[in-house]
Amino acid sequence: GARVIATLPGDGIGPEIMNVAVKVLETVAEGEGVSLRFEEHAIGGDAIDKTGKPLPEETLEACKASDQVLLAAIGGYKWDNLSSKDRPEGGLLQLRAGLDCFANLRPATLQDELLEGSPLKPEVIKGVDIMIVRELVGGIYFGEPRGFKDADGDRAGYNTMVYKKSEVERIARVAFEIAKARKGNLVSVDKANVLEVSQLWRQTVADAFEADGCEADGLSLSNMYVDNCAMQLCTNPSQFDVILTGNIFGDILSDQASVITGSLGMLPSASVSSPGKPGIYEPVHGSAPDIAGQDKANPLGMVLSAAMMCRYGLNEPEMADIIEDAVKSVLAKGYRTGDLMGASPAGAELTQVSCSQMGE
């Protein structure tokens, strides 16, 4: 039967870019003889207006029962005054938790046609194609105990960075699978020179790598301290293929890596769970309320998220290749949404298009 894709357009430019992604997927699926069914559900501010909650029970249940989830973006001025637990953004955190999405995949891939959008020198970033695999539900953001306390008459705030072996093993295995679908060069990033939690991380990754026979599968594993990695991302980013790291290091490094590519509107991401369970595929950017409803948004981050869903979620790599090639091809022909007009090599002949035209 058809595989079910739960679509969550959300707020702001969300519905505009979701329309484009669904059209692209329908077109490519038809050409490839793949059967997909799309079912739309409410999330974020849109869901607050309809049901009072940013993640209605109906939406969560539908996502759990689906094959994969495509999410556009949530949030907007209208809901900015709500308390933090009632805000649209809470819907996204609840959805990730509800689907047990413990792995965040953030690619930083430079489209050669957009070389001048990057703050780094073209010769440094040419060919950059990095996938960061970040642990998403553990580490210092969730560790207990946490809080405030009085410390000898002084005030202190504290958090706990903790990882269990089982948590490291499951994220490491996601990274091994990703590396197998790429160049096979894996770098695990930690701070093992200072932190016990990082020493456990490093040893656990090495043991799992060995136990799974990854070397025989053509993978290589090396380790890097997080401070060195931050530096190397600026000075020599093209050395990286897959970076595996914990929650807080991954948060920082993935934002850093994303600016290498220069264009927020182009970046996809995924939050995935164990094999066979649905993952969430979404662009990195937000709901861009400043340009919502004007058919101006760049839909390519959303479209490339759909391609990631094909590759890593649906196991349809041909569909992913077709979509990614189509993105390269429209850029090579000079078509740009407004946000990309400054990002091309000098002298390139550009045509500015709307969101829906880019989709066509």
Is residue 141 annotated as part of the catalytic site, yes or no?
A: yes
Q: Interface with ligand NAI includes 286 (CB under 6 A)?
A: yes
By a kind-dependent CB cut-off of 5 to 8 A, residue 255 interacts, out of ligand NAI, Mg ion, none, with: Mg ion
Segment 292-311, which members bind ligand NAI (CB under 6 A)?
297-298, 301
CB 269 → Mg ion: shortest distance, Å?
11
- Stretch 195-254 residues interacting with Mg ion (CB under 5 A): 251
Q: Which does 39 bind (CB under 5 to 8 A by kind): ligand NAI, Mg ion, none?
A: none
Distance CA 164, CA 57 (A): 31
| 290 touching ligand NAI, by CB under 6 A | yes
Residues 259-278 that bind ligand NAI (CB under 6 A): 264-265
- If one asks whether residue 76 binds ligand NAI (CB under 6 A), the answer comes out as yes
Q: Catalytic site residue 312?
A: no
Write b or e for each residue in 140-153: b if 16 or more Cβ atoms lie within 10 A of its Cβ, otherwise e: beeeeeeeeeeeee
The minimum distance between CB 287 and ligand NAI, in angstroms, equals: 4
Active site residue 152: no
92 binds ligand NAI (CB under 6 A): yes
User: 227, 325, 328, 333: which is the annotated catalytic residue?
Assistant: 227
Instruction: State in angstroms the smallest separation of the CB of 122 from ligand NAI.
Output: 23
Q: Which is nearer to ligand NAI, 159 or 354 (CB)?
A: 354
Per partner kind, with CB cut-offs from 5 to 8 A, the member of ligand NAI, Mg ion, none near residue 66 is none
Per-position x/- string for 247-266, each x denoting binding to Mg ion as judged by CB under 5 A, each - no binding: ----x---x-----------
| Angle separating helix axes 57-65 and 88-98, nearest 10 degrees | 40
191 catalytic residue (yes or no): yes
Asked about 11 being catalytic, the answer comes back as: no
Residue count at the site for Mg ion (CB under 5 A)? 2
Query: Taking CB within 5 to 8 Å according to partner kind, which of ligand NAI, Mg ion, none is near residue 273?
Result: none
- Contact residues toward ligand NAI (CB under 6 A) are 13, 73-76, 89, 92, 264-265, 282, 285-291, 297-298, 301, 339
- Contact residues toward Mg ion (CB under 5 A) are 251, 255
Q: Which residues are catalytic?
A: 141, 191, 227, 251, 255
